[in-house]
Amino acid sequence: MDNQYVITLFVVMAMATFITRAAPFVLLGRFASHPFLAAISQLFPAMIMMVLVFFSLVTLEYAGHIERYVLAIGALCWTVLIHRMMGQALISILTGTAVYVVGIQWFGL
């Protein structure tokens, strides 16, 4: 592959990424005040987070290690507690991850 081909490839990928990111704003701009979109914009972040949490808990391999389940649920509860107390997503995610990692290291799971 020559440099011109690689540069062309990157330019095409950048344009495709920009178009797919900008398209919803351009196409749905006139519907921004619609009540359905307002409801979806309030519910969608929580729905995505729930899908990610359930997916991560289901796909972890815990065969024969009930302690790992307890640790994962404990770290999840810690994350929710910190988020409810402080309202800071980044701090709650970081502390929840830290609880899980320290638990894994501490208990040798």
63 pLDDT higher than 70? no
Average pLDDT over residues 13-31: 88
27 and 43 together in one domain: no
Amino acid at 70: V
Tell me the three state secondary structure of residue 18: helix
As a whole number, mean pLDDT of residues 92-99 equals: 90
**Given a cut of 90, is residue 14 above it in pLDDT?**
yes
Same domain assignment for residues 9 and 43: no
**Full residue range of the structural domain in which residue 9 is found:** 1-32
Residue 85: predicted pLDDT? 92
Domain count, the chain: 2
Q: Does one domain contain both 16 and 40?
A: no
Asked whether the predicted pLDDT for residue 34 surpasses 70, the reply is yes
Cα distance between residue 76 and residue 85, in whole Å: 14
pTM assigned to the model: 0.55
Q: With left for phi above 0 and alpha for psi between -120 and 50, is residue 64 left, alpha or beta?
A: left
